[in-house]
Amino acid sequence: MKALQYREVGSAPEVVTVPDPEPGPGQVLLEVTAAGACHSDISVMSWPADDFPFALPLTLGHEGVGTVAALGAGVTGVAEGDAVAVYGPWGCGRCLNCAAGKENYCLRAAELGIQPPGLGAPGSMAEYLLVDDPRHLVPLNGLDPVTAVPLTDAGLTPYHAIKPSLPKLVPGATAVVIGVGGLGHIGVQVLRALTTARVIAVDVNEDKLALARTVGAHETVRSDEQAAAKVREMTGDRGAQAVFDFVGSQPTVEMAGAVASVEADISIVGIGGGSLPVGFGFLPFEASVSAPYWGSRGELHEVLELARAGVLSVHTETYSLDEAPLAYERLHDGTINGRAVIVP
Ligand code: NAD
Ligand code: ZN
Ligand code: ZN
């Protein structure tokens, strides 16, 4: 089969032919119908060779949707032909956190060598994908594969970040979204669907700000040195009760801290390497800072239900597998509006 692989540290990903995978006991083989390109893959491909955490070559793609093509021995509960989304942050399935569906916070994944597809295990940017266990599949139930696939990460991750802040996003509250790319443009819509808060979106790129307005942001602000002051002014200097930073660079985490209100939640989702000091005098009183990772199995069901309710409009640009390297070039250059989706 064809697969998009990152083969050597520092090189561009390549489309290659690899053996067709076969499902072993307990595994499920999917024929991939859509695979999303996440900015985290750009980070992975920028890491140096010293202590690079994954074996190479690595088939990319940690957002995947497909049709069940074959079942390994002993698999029950799914049938050939089922259209399913893949829950990506695989865990052991048995530890305390996995028992609660929070496989993203599995206590034993590292020790057992369990890695997500596309982030260690062979990923979804291929004609076929092996899924280690049917519990990692969620039925699509009528959702379109191309617009559903970003929900498995670009939807799930903002949903998981936003959910704990819902009690603070009461009428009259403000939520700030920094970075309106794949994650951010869905984050804006999750906020609009679940809260009455005013949503202010911040980005460096005018096209992304236009997309933010299209998907429901009340206000947009260009990301520069004046941005934090503008956002504070929009809130009557009260600040925002929840800030979601989908960039995570040093300037954006500082902006996140600067626009926060007292008792705000500051959620740093982007892996841009920025850090924010906490302690008296650094942030508004009682502000909380978190760095959430992906989401739980239950939350993936909830995000797909939100899409079925018709309140999420996922913007995608589609590419064939052969064009996948181009999709990553554009993602790197910041010219994808919404999510790039590979249709093998
Ligand atoms: P993306 O490239 O689609 O979007 C990033 C957006 O940020 C773009 O619209 C870009 O214009 C904007 N941006 C860049 N610099 C900015 C700045 N200084 N101020 C404001 N906006 C700026 O990326 P994505 O796939 O949505 O991923 C977003 C981030 O989240 C990445 O860092 C990615 O690695 C990370 N991520 C984290 C998790 C997690 O579990 N924590 C999961 C998925 C992705
Ligand atoms: Zn991702
Ligand atoms: Zn576990």
**273 and 317 part of one domain:** no
**227 and 238 part of one domain:** yes
**16 and 146 part of one domain:** yes
**275 and 334 part of one domain:** no
Alpha carbon of 212 to ligand 1 centroid (Å)? 14
Tell me how many domains the chain contains. 2
Under a CB-based contact definition with an 8 Å cutoff, are residues 112 and 14 in contact? Answer: no
Alpha carbon of 245 to ligand 3 centroid (Å)? 27
Angstrom distance (rounded) from CA 300 to CA 44: 24
Under a CB-based contact definition with an 8 Å cutoff, are residues 266 and 289 in contact? Answer: yes
Give me the CATH number covering residue 179. Answer: 3.40.50.720
**178 and 124 part of one domain:** no
- Decide: pTM greater than 0.80: yes
**Ligand with smallest separation from the Cα of 117:** 2
How much is the pLDDT for 181? 98
**134 and 198 part of one domain:** no
**Nearest alpha carbon to residue 150 among 95, 88, 196:** 88
**125 and 29 part of one domain:** yes
**266 and 300 part of one domain:** no
Q: Does residue 267 have its Cβ closer than 6 Å to ligand 1?
A: no
How much is the pLDDT for 19? 98
What is the position in ligand 1's atom list of the atom closest to the CA of 295?
40
Share of the chain above pLDDT 70, in %: 100
Which of 105, 253, 271, 316 for mutating ligand 1's site (highest number of atoms within 8 Å of CB)?
Answer: 271
Angstrom distance (rounded) from CA 42 to CA 37: 9
Alpha carbon of 270 to ligand 1 centroid (Å)? 5
How much is the pLDDT for 343? 98
Question: Considering only CA atoms, which residue is closest to atom 4 of ligand 1?
Answer: 181
- Residue 265 pairs in a beta bridge with 242, 288
Give me the CATH number covering residue 114. Answer: 3.90.180.10
**What number of other Cβ atoms are within 10 A of residue 111's Cβ?**
10
**Residues bordering ligand 2, an ion, CB closer than 5 Å:** 38, 40, 153
- The length of the chain is 344
**228 and 285 part of one domain:** yes
Confidence grade of residue 269 (pLDDT, cut at 50, 70, 90): very high
**Nearest alpha carbon to residue 173 among 203, 199, 212, 202:** 199
In tens, the pLDDT along 146-159 reads 999 999 999 999 99
Q: Does residue 335 have its Cβ closer than 6 Å to ligand 1?
A: no
Under a CB-based contact definition with an 8 Å cutoff, are residues 86 and 124 in contact? Answer: yes
Under a CB-based contact definition with an 8 Å cutoff, are residues 187 and 306 in contact? Answer: no
Mean pLDDT of the 193-207 span: 98
Q: Which residues, 6+ apart, have CB-to-CB distance to 65 below 8 Å? A: 32, 33, 34, 35, 83, 84, 85, 86, 124, 140, 145, 148, 149, 152
Domain that holds residue 65: 2-153+295-342
Question: Considering only CA atoms, which residue is closest to atom 23 of ligand 1?
Answer: 39
**234 and 332 part of one domain:** no
Share of the chain above pLDDT 90, in %: 100
**41 and 117 part of one domain:** yes
What is the position in ligand 1's atom list of the atom closest to the CA of 249?
18
Q: Does residue 269 have its Cβ closer than 6 Å to ligand 1?
A: yes
How much is the pLDDT for 325? 98
How much is the pLDDT for 245? 99
How much is the pLDDT for 53? 96
In tens, the pLDDT along 206-257 reads 999 999 999 999 999 999 999 999 999 999 999 999 999 999 999 999 999 9
**219 and 277 part of one domain:** yes
CA of 251: how far to CAs of 6, 114, 224, 228, 326, in Å? Answer: 30, 34, 9, 10, 28
Average pLDDT of the chain, as a whole number: 98
